[in-house]
Structure 1
Amino acid sequence: MPTAPYLRDPLAQTDLTDWGVIPTMIEGESHTSGKLIHKGANGESECGLWLCTPGKWHCHVTRDEFCHFLQGRATYVHESGEVIEIIPDTAAFFPKDWKGVCTVHETVKKLYMIR
């Protein structure tokens, strides 16, 4: 019988894995870390907790991603000019091939699902 992976109290999580620096930085040095809740057998989907420190970078979403931002502030600006302001308790869906610039103003923590 399959199990249902879960994460209790995501805001209190501090035991995160270092996922490195964002490779497409424009300004600063955004450092990421997180905790994987589930990854599909063939890597086709994953979900987890993601933390990112302040900075600005080029963003290209390569697979559909749903995010629920729990803390921090960020601005996502699509290449078309559309602006998404992220504050705590913001949910957003970024479709595959979304491209733009992300600026993290205050360290963000989010739950995400990629498919």
Structure 2
Amino acid sequence: MSTLTATAPHLHGPSSLDDLLDWGPVETMIKGQSHTYGRLISKGPNGEWECGVWVCTPGKWECHVTRDEFCHFLAGRCTYEHENGDVIEVSPDTAAFFPKDWKGVCTVHETVRKTYMIK
């Protein structure tokens, strides 16, 4: 159950939510064909921030974070490799902060699901 019009928008059960919107394929694919789905919880009046649920299917793609993003991964397995070689191994219950202009490669091994906040 969700309440997206409340004074404090919230979403119950983001790890099992199944009425996600098709957000399309990842456009920067290196290998495979990752596809994304999601649901917004809230978005700033001019899009200056947003938070929601995001799901991505397996594949390998170039990743460029254009705004600060905090993520809490709920399911799946993936690897983020920064262009300097640093690696983040993601599994369920991993939290990560990607600062603006983080660049690297994301490899989704098993479909991932996360809640996120972008600002």
Shared fold, TM over 0.5? yes
Q: Does structure 1 residue 32 correspond to structure 2 residue 36?
A: yes
Shift of 1:33: 0.3
CA RMSD of the aligned region, Å?
0.7
Runs of 4+ in 1 over 3 A off after TM superposition: none
**What letter matches 1:74 in structure 2?**
C
Q: TM-score, normalised by structure 1?
A: 0.98
Shift of 1:67: 0.1
**Paired residues, what number?**
114
Counterpart Cα distance in 2 of 1:93 and 1:101? 15
Alignment of 1:1-115 (within 5 A): 3-115=7-119
**What letter matches 2:61 in structure 1?**
W
The percentage of counterpart residues that share the same residue type is: 72
Query: In the TM superposition, what whole-angstrom CA distance separates every residue of 1:69-107 from its partner, at most 9, and x where no partner exists?
Result: 000000000000000000000000000000000000000
Query: In the TM superposition, what whole-angstrom CA distance separates every residue of 1:12-71 from its partner, at most 9, and x where no partner exists?
Result: 100000000000000000000000000000100000000000000000000000000000
Counterpart Cα distance in 1 of 2:38 and 2:83? 27
**What letter matches 1:76 in structure 2?**
Y
